[in-house]
Structure 1
Amino acid sequence: MSDIAAQLAAVQAEYDRLPSGLRQHVERVAAEARDLAARWDLDPARVELAAWGHDLFRAHPPAEQLRLAAECGLPVSDVDRLEPVLLHGPIAAVVLRERFGVTDGEALAAVRDHTLGAAEMPLIAKVILLADKVEPRKRKRDPILRAIRRLARRDLDTALLCWADWKWVEERARGWPSHPAHWDARRRWVAEHHLDRAMPPILPLDPADPDFAPAE
């Protein structure tokens, strides 16, 4: 048995003690990730491992997530303290490395960054994030995710940016805070999108402009 196969079996076994609904979600994400992996010529075993690892700590209570983050030596922002569930990916990445022996840095990055994204993301991380967002139950709940799923099959970077725009609208509509790490990532994605399309750079807002309105 290969190292990845053994690691995958061990991670899958962990879901026996977690809520069945979480396991079903992970199975749906893994199926989406396998589809994208085939379209983007990624190693299916690495993608499968990252897909199963991504939500290993998703069901833990908030206090437990904060405790585990401290144990793992992870930085915890004010937004993380308000929403400790945001820490489940970084926690899982540390545990996969230290307990399960996963040394694939790109797969670990995919697990770590699947909730918020990151300014620099390997291909496998883009696949896992998008697979997590567009799995069947989520796109049934919000039809815009169907369009993002279709787009991901031909342009992962633009699909990420569209997801970030959708996320921004959701956060404003629901009064949720925006995580600084996500906004750092989004700014990079926007800048790269403009460069890729040979568009002029986005100029900073000018406080002297009468249309300038500082963000609240």
Structure 2
Amino acid sequence: MCNLYSNTTTQEAIRRLFPLTDRAGNVEPGRVYPDQLAPILRHGDDGLELAMSRWGLPSPPSVLKTARDPGVTNIRNLGSPHWRRWLGKEHRCLVPLTSFAEPRGKGKGNQWFAAADPDAVMFFAGIEIRDWKSVRKVKDGETTDDLFAFLTCPPNAEVAAVHPKAMPVILTKEDEWQAWLDGINATELQRPLPDDALVLLDDE
């Protein structure tokens, strides 16, 4: 399960790809961990907007043992009523990334993956919600946050050799980006990248 990724795509580069309003402020490139803020491309009142959101959608109540909800970073089961309510167009987002990591196994660190094509632009197929009240960290108490997570799917050959259960859904083509934002049935894009689309990197 992907719980770490890196984004070095600049705001200027994203603005060249989409007509949007930039509400993200000054985004520093680098690694993104669960529960951290990261830039996402989402629907705004006047079209698309780039905004900061916290990584981790609300957990299903059935899995919570305390009032604290650390959030769910990856979504696989689109048939779950918990997730179905947020699959519509209004909750769709694109999450820019440059590379992502999958755990090699206990004590073995992470394996990083990047696009084999150096000119490829990658986005996770994301879901986002806004103004969600929850206790993410006990010391902070209840907070109100914009949240996001992204879909996963069966892995392609490169990822399967390291993590045979799943990989993130990554969109690399303009028609895929637009179809996702326009509300295409999520299962139509819940698929792995083609084999040989990724290269393995040393731990960054």
Higher relative strand content = 2
Structure ID, larger Rg: 1
Same fold (TM over 0.5): no
**TM-score per shorter chain, which class?**
under 0.3
TM-score, normalised relative to structure 2: 0.28
TM-score, normalised relative to structure 1: 0.27
